[in-house]
Amino acid sequence: MSEKIQQDIYPSMMISSQNKAEKIAPIKLGERLKEIRKSLNLTLEEASQKTGLARSTLSKIENEQISPTFQAMQKLTTGLEIDLPQLFTTPKQVTATGRRDITRNEEGKAHPTSTYEHELLATQLTNKKMMPFKSKVRARDFNDYSDWIRHDGEEFLLILAGEITFFSEFYEPVNLQQGDSVYYDANMGHMLISISEQDALILWVTAS
């Protein structure tokens, strides 16, 4: 009795976005936990002591035989003194000094939604101060959107192609064309629609 359960997650510091069941490189929570534990040089027994979860439970989580409850995940994060997002993101080697990540055109990590088609950039690097991604904006209709998008931090966007109307909470809407850019407080409600013939292409960079 050791069937693997479905337990993937989509990598995303992604903002207001959607992750339907799309083909995005999934991360195994169990593997990730094992990595973390190993990196801390802990045995299951030691991890058990620190987290208050049974040795057997930890083993089962690592081998993806069970799906931990939120409570268990909290015990994990507090016990091992890590942040929750760390459980969901794969940190490809982060050398102490210099890190670099190149993303070729159109080769970012896809993250499609109904109205946007996000392409996450520099996904190899974790713990970044900024989160850059490109989006194709398909929507040309308000109805495609439910409400303001709102999240922590600041956001910069640059129109790479097409034309959009950018809405934000305390301002009048503006039209933005190729080459135009906006910088704004992302806690302020914001959203945009494409008004060009083809999909608009946009670069976003977020920092919190």
Question: From residue 143, how far is each of 115, 162, 172 by CA, in Å?
Answer: 10, 20, 19
- Total residues contacting its own copies by CB under 8 A comes to 96
Question: Among residue numbers 120 through 179, which ones bind DNA (CB under 7 A)?
Answer: none
Select the residue interacting with DNA from 24, 61, 121, 201 (CB under 7 A).
61
The span of 44-52, 90-98, 142-150, 183-191 binding DNA (CB under 7 A) equals 44-52
In this complex, which beta carbon is closest to its own copies, that of residue 55 or of residue 151? Answer: 151
Task: Give the Cα separation of 12 and 19 in Å (integer).
Answer: 9
**Under rule CB under 7 A, residue 60 binds DNA:** yes
Handedness of CA 177, 111, 20, 33 (dihedral sign): negative
Residues 6+ apart with CB under 8 A from 61: 29, 30, 33, 53, 68, 72
Contact segment (CB under 8 A) with its own copies among 39-47, 137-145, 191-199 equals 39-47
59 near its own copies, judged by CB under 8 A = no
Max CA distance (Å), the chain = 60
Question: Cβ(166)–Cβ(198) under 8 Å?
Answer: no
Place of tokens 């308000």: 142
Q: Which range of residues in 39-47, 84-92, 145-153, 177-185 is near DNA by CB under 7 A?
A: 39-47
Tell me how far, at minimum, the Cβ of 173 lies from its own copies, in Å. Answer: 11
Footprint on this chain of DNA (rule: CB under 7 A): 1-2, 5, 43-45, 52-57, 59-63, 65-69, 71-72
